[in-house]
């Protein structure tokens, strides 16, 4: 190559005596005694030490700022003081010539490259190109590349075709806000960026393709979370024709464990088959539909046992208990646990302990003295057991219990085998629920999932023979270490069943045709049974890297407010552009008036 004969991580002791050319960024310059300088040269691959002994070379280097890009030609020699921590620590290069390729014109950097992760996130994102020079940051992006390549190869080996689907499409109700794109040639009309390739991949099945996948970009106007990036994200999108729920499970149970074992922070991952947990069982046992199976704690329903104990918050409420052995926390630590659980769940947490003498103490103990024996027997308590409690309506009690289990798992190493990837499937989600705002029957999740029982169960519900809230769907979530990686379903491919499912929520055939014309019409021409899923690539890599924030595994992420502070997006556009698109901005008018 013109600019280098070797990378900065390539030279070894056996290269001593060679004339080489290296190129990279000046990471550090250390002048010694006025006639000698040590320079650390960094490229994508690693670092090499340069020793500037020539007066001319020394002058060139000392007048440059750190992060200047240079190319040096020189001789490799053995280092007198070796650095065993570096692959190139046995050698150094003595430059004969230096060429400035890209000068850093700033004396001060926004942060030290090697310590960029300590900087404020807003500064890191504004200068993301500098942040990415940090090898610790760069390695997450490299990990992502390797994981995507491994996933792609595995899917191809399983007979899936990689097919790209449109980015400009029609707006459709999929549970989140669309990003809309005005159509210049069709004034007043809009495209939408796809929240997922859902309809397209189902249409591919109706088109006669058997196995589809893509590393698909998805766009949703959602608020950020630690495990969710605003704006856009990527998923391993897949669909299979003539497939059941178990067929989908079989593919992912074969594809994911080797990737997690090879690339993950932890080398242990669940092997097939992953545990299947019905949704209602997950909520009752773990207080969440995203259980972390590394934690061996579960919650028990103690409503009958404790709701009448005289403690007012338990009266006529659902009460859940989580017994924990070996939790010898102080009162201050317990108070903090309860406070943290309330912040996350929005509901108070309570507690008591069975001490080493077999007496109930602490927390709500005074309300349990008369039923002490019954409490000990029903919960199977041993001396020294701590019991965390939640109460409220059923959903609130479950949610608080789920938060307590997670917090207690983090506090109790004896109850959490942290260094592994524990997968499970959550299955049998409810098809319908009562809407909080409407008070009427609504779809609980994906309206295009096939109901367990097909057309027959819907007809029986219509006749009043079955409670619609008891109908479950062939819908499933893949969960790993308490993180939902994806949702999937066996699709409702039969127009008759589809119409009946929508009629249950007061929508008829014309509504389905209007909202989903292509898919409805395609199914009317004959569609095979099909099923699919779409694990999130960003979340997957976040778990593999052991990061708490999803932004750490995305090359150029937005901030929590869905802003790209580096590029200045979103930003204003010229009035001419708005006029071409027949768009008037009310925000500009408000801004002009000082509101």
Cα distance between residue 214 and residue 486, in whole Å: 15
Domain that residue 49 falls in: 13-102
**In this structure, what CATH number is given to the domain that contains residue 399?**
3.30.1360.30
pTM to 2 decimal places: 0.91
Q: Of 394, 416, 438, which residue is a domain's last? A: 416
Answer yes or no: is pLDDT of 236 > 70: yes
In a domain, residue 290? The reply is no
Cα distance between residue 235 and residue 242, in whole Å: 22
Structure-block tokens of residue 248: 């989908």
**C-alpha separations of 122 from 134, 181, 546, 549 in Å:** 16, 28, 22, 14
Residue by residue, what is the 3-state secondary structure of 449-475? ECECCHHHHHHHHHCCCCCHHHCEECE
In a domain, residue 380? The reply is yes
In a domain, residue 346? The reply is yes
The reported pLDDT for the residue numbered 174 is 59
DSSP per-residue codes, 110-163: SS-GGGGGGS-HHHHHHTHHHHTTSHHHHHHHHHHHHHHHHHHHHHHHTT-EE-
Question: How many Cα atoms within 13 Å fall on the side-chain side of residue 277?
Answer: 25
Percent of the chain with pLDDT over 70: 98
**For the segment 311-364, what is each residue's pLDDT rounded down to a tens digit?**
999 999 999 999 999 998 899 999 999 999 999 999 999 999 999 999 999 999
Answer yes or no: is pLDDT of 593 > 50: no
For the chain, how many structural domains are there in total?
Answer: 2
**In this structure, what CATH number is given to the domain that contains residue 98?**
2.40.50.140
100-113 average pLDDT score: 95
Cα distance between residue 538 and residue 485, in whole Å: 9
> Which residues, in sequence order, are CB contacts of 560 under 8 Å at separation 6+?
224, 230
**For the segment 382-407, what is each residue's pLDDT rounded down to a tens digit?**
999 999 999 999 999 999 999 999 99
- Crossing angle for the helix pair 279-286 and 394-411, to the nearest 10 degrees: 60
Q: Of 416, 443, 467, which residue is a domain's last? A: 416
In a domain, residue 78? The reply is yes
Structure-block tokens of residue 400: 């608080």
In a domain, residue 86? The reply is yes
In a domain, residue 376? The reply is yes
User: Residue 65 has what DSSP assignment?
Assistant: P
In a domain, residue 77? The reply is yes
**For the segment 471-498, what is each residue's pLDDT rounded down to a tens digit?**
999 999 999 999 999 999 999 999 999 9
- Residue 354's CB is within 10 A of a number of other CB atoms, namely 24
Cα distance between residue 491 and residue 463, in whole Å: 24
In a domain, residue 249? The reply is no
Q: Of 416, 434, 459, which residue is a domain's last? A: 416
């Amino acid at each position: 190559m013109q600019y280098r004969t070797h990378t900065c991580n390539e030279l070894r002791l056996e290269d001593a005596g060679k004339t080489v050319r290296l190129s990279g960024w000046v990471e550090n310059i250390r002048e010694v005694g006025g006639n000698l300088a040590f320079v650390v040269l960094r490229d994508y691959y690693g670092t090499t030490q340069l020793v500037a002994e020539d007066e001319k070379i020394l002058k060139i280097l000392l007048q440059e700022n750190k992060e200047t890009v240079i190319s040096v030609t020189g001789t490799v020699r053995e280092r007198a003081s070796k650095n065993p921590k570096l692959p190139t620590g046995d050698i150094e290069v003595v430059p004969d010539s230096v060429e400035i390729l890209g000068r850093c014109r700033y004396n001060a950097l926004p942060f030290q490259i090697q310590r960029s992760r300590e900087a404020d996130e807003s500064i890191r994102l504004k200068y993301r190109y500098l942040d990415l020079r940090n090898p610790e940051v760069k390695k997450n992006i490299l990990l992502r590349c390797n994981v995507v390549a491994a996933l792609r190869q595995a899917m191809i080996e399983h007979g899936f075709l990689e097919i790209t689907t449109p980015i400009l499409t029609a707006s459709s109700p999929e549970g989140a806000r669309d990003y809309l794109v005005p159509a210049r040639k069709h004034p007043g009309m809009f495209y939408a960026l796809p929240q997922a390739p859902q309809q397209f991949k189902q249409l591919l099945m109706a088109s006669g393709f058997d196995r589809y996948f893509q590393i698909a970009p998805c766009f949703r106007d959602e608020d950020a979370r630690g495990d969710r990036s605003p704006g856009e994200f990527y998923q391993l999108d897949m669909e299979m024709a003539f497939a059941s729920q178990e067929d989908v499970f079989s593919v992912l149970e074969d594809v994911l464990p080797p990737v997690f074992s090879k690339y993950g922070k932890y080398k242990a991952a669940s092997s097939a088959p992953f545990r299947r947990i019905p949704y209602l069982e997950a909520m009752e046992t773990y207080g969440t539909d995203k259980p972390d199976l590394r934690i061996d704690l579960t919650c028990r329903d103690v409503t009958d046992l404790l709701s009448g104990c005289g403690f007012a918050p338990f009266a006529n409420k659902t009460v859940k208990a989580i017994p924990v052995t070996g939790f010898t926390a102080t009162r201050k630590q317990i108070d903090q646990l309860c406070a943290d659980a309330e912040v996350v769940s929005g509901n108070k947490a309570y507690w008591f302990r069975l001490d080493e003498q077999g007496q109930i103490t602490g927390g709500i103990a005074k309300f349990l003295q008369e039923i002490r024996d019954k409490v000990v027997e029903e919960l199977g308590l041993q001396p020294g057991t701590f019991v965390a409690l939640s109460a409220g309506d059923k959903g609130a009690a479950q949610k608080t219990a789920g938060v307590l289990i997670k917090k207690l798992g983090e506090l109790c190493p004896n109850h959490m085998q942290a260094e592994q990837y524990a997968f499970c499937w959550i299955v049998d989600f409810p098809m319908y629920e009562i809407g909080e705002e409407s008070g009427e029957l609504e779809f609980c999740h994906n309206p295009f999932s096939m109901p367990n029982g097909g057309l027959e169960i819907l007809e029986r519900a219509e006749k009043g023979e079955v409670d619609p809230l008891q109908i479950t769907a062939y819908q499933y979530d893949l969960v790993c270490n308490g993180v939902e990686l994806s949702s999937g379903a066996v699709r409702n491919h039969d127009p008759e069943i589809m119409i009946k499912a929508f009629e249950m929520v007061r929508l008829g055939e014309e509504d389905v045709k209007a909202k989903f014309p292509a898919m409805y019409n395609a199914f009317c021409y004959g569609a095979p049974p099909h099923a699919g899923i779409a694990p999130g690539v960003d979340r997957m890599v976040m778990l593999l890297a052991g990061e708490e924030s999803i932004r750490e595994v995305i090359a150029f992420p937005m901030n929590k407010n869905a802003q790209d502070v580096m590029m200045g997006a979103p930003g204003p556009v010229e009035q001419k552009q708005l006029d071409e698109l027949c768009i008037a901005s009310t925000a500009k008018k408000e801004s002009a008036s000082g509101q």
